[in-house]
Amino acid sequence: MNQIEQLTAMLKESNRIVFFGGAGVSTASGIPDFRSAGGIYNQKLHATFTPEQMVSHSFFVNHTEDFYDFYKDKMVYPDAEPNGCHIALAKLEKMGKCKAVVTQNIDGLHQKAGSEIVFELHGSVLRNFCTKCGKFFDDKYVMACDGVPTCDQCGGLVKPDVVLYEEALDPVQINGAVDAISKADMLIVGGTSLIVYPAAGLIDYFRGKHLVLINKSSTPADSKAELVIHEDIADVMSKAVDAL
């Protein structure tokens, strides 16, 4: 039995599957892995900033215009479409097998593929809000604004509903993810290096039967998993679910 067949067999016998995914899930949709970006030199600021610094809360506050230059160029991909992994998970949910998707991604592609129960640990670029009056705006509004987006109602600064570095994760999303993982009989972890906390610590709540890791490179949790597949996640999930 090869690895795909093993995965299919586990999917067949599991009825409370939870998927926990990271940046590698979106790379097949043409969204680059954020961590692989190099330091970005900003001539206007006469300094070198890492991508992590440029999407921090303090950078947003102190260099709002530069934040938005970077954000619009590197963080929002309006033309991205769901890939084989997103589609396979939506199929599993329709079968009644996948109970939740927990994602570190901010692109909304799981919902676009049809998944309904999605815990977005880091928020979404599709939602933006006025920091003054709270009015919500979609990604199209932000992308269409020249420079820094402001509220069309009160003129306040619009901020993406994305968890920036230095900001706390939303407790509703975290608690939902912990609850789903703790009740799962199968946890599939995919497209994540499992090095960013607190998200990486979520797998410690899993008490079920099958722990599967699908990632191109090895992770600190490989030794804990029953099945480890170092291949493209879109390809692996498509084949495994199609074989059900």
Cβ proximity of 214 and 191 under 8 Å: yes
| Catalytic pick among 63, 110, 122, 210 | 122
Cβ proximity of 211 and 224 under 8 Å: yes
Q: Is 110 helix (H, G, I), strand (E, B) or coil?
A: helix
Q: Is 30 helix (H, G, I), strand (E, B) or coil?
A: coil
Crossing angle, helix 84-94 and helix 233-242, to 10 degrees?
30
Q: Which residue pairs from 198-203 have beta carbons closer than 8 angstroms and sit at least 24 positions apart in sequence?
A: 198/169, 198/174, 199/22, 199/104, 199/121, 199/122, 199/169, 202/20, 202/102, 202/177, 202/178, 203/20
The amino acid at residue 140 is K
Q: How many other C-beta atoms can be found within 10 angstroms of the C-beta atom of residue 216?
A: 14
Total residues belonging to the chain: 244
Task: Establish whether 122 is a catalytic residue.
Answer: yes
Q: Which residues are the active-site residues?
A: 122
